Structure 1
């Protein structure tokens, strides 16, 4: 047995695990909620700084969760599968529909480093000057800043849950020095939370951050293992363009065979090969119009 590898594995799993006192504690006072969210965010920051953690893939998966939450807030029925279909099977000139637009906004928000310009690309209906003003609305600690931005956007446009949450997560990510938008708030908040007063909204954001970080840490542990397996089997792939295809799987939530930089038949064979090797999963359960992901 390779004891050094076993020790490395144990050490890695320990670092990827959220401390139990964060996950089990009940914070009744806002001071306690703030302490717990700070501890959770510190753990997340350390985790996302690790070289073996596929942070781009994690952000992409979190973007899907955030989009699903925003679509649910708007009362629409689309869930993850429908959102993936709306984006990955778009043809030139097609419109993704309202739910697909929400998902595209989140994908664009997480794709580039946080800036007014990148956020304007994600939210073309919000003027760049307004985006800058909203981001400046938040002061103080990261979660307080995010809550202030969320409250400011919702006060200005009550039916804009998606843009409000994107900008709030952008403010949170900026304050944490994460570089890119890392979606945390949308999946942890309820629609009713978005219309609360400043103090209650702040409390809700603290709780949402803790809940979302717990789920993100679990997701990171799973995707880190899966990504390591993808990298391990990559040398077995002989198709020209396989390296670029593997990189797509390691950075995207889902990939259609037609999106890979290979001829159609070779792309399908590569996807089947990766499924056989246990490196990726087929996500739709369909015989046609399939999507694959780590």
Structure 2
């Protein structure tokens, strides 16, 4: 069976359509730019998803611009490129976009050459330094909360007092927990909730599902929303962000969201497929 003369991806999927405000159904343009989540799409619990390496190879050979997106702000993109290479996934550093990079770009646009008190690791501090930000705990413009495996109570206390003193509160992503081989770990969203509870100040989250991260990613690849696909494993972050940014959205079932959960959401992806392997044939369409 074909859809509009094209062979569909294997497995269950929604038709390749979008709904306009007037209720009409309009045909999307062929996919020329690809955005993909990392955890749950290309890798899962420290191992590559079957077919991910071939998907990346086929994308590179096609010449179509692509970007791997992650809410993880711990690592620099060079670090992530090396970690993916160790798993057999050849993703160059410049093809990786993190919530740390998106946060640094956001702050540089809002307040050029500003200052920030940062709770996070190298991925975030490096991105902010490269954006000409000064990292300080003396009257900073912002408190910036990112991911770390070693959240410090003294750092959190300092962040609370700085926010009480007038610093603006920004966080890289709203994820409450993160994965590890030992189980869930408290993540940025959970710590942000603690700070908000103490200060009454809500953070501005830059990472997914904020469509801002999608729009900055589009700027990086030079893409247009009507010709760009977002591949993700979570309806509540990847897919909703793609929908709000006007992208073609593809849900893979190798991560967080199960197939029987899709219908519970008020929005829907354009496609639902078992895994990234089922999208390889779409690259050359």
TM-score (norm 2): 0.27
TM-score (norm 1): 0.26
- The structure showing larger relative contact order (alpha-carbon pairs under 8 Å, at least 6 residues apart) is 2
Q: More helix by proportion, 1 or 2?
A: 1
Q: More strand by proportion, 1 or 2?
A: 2
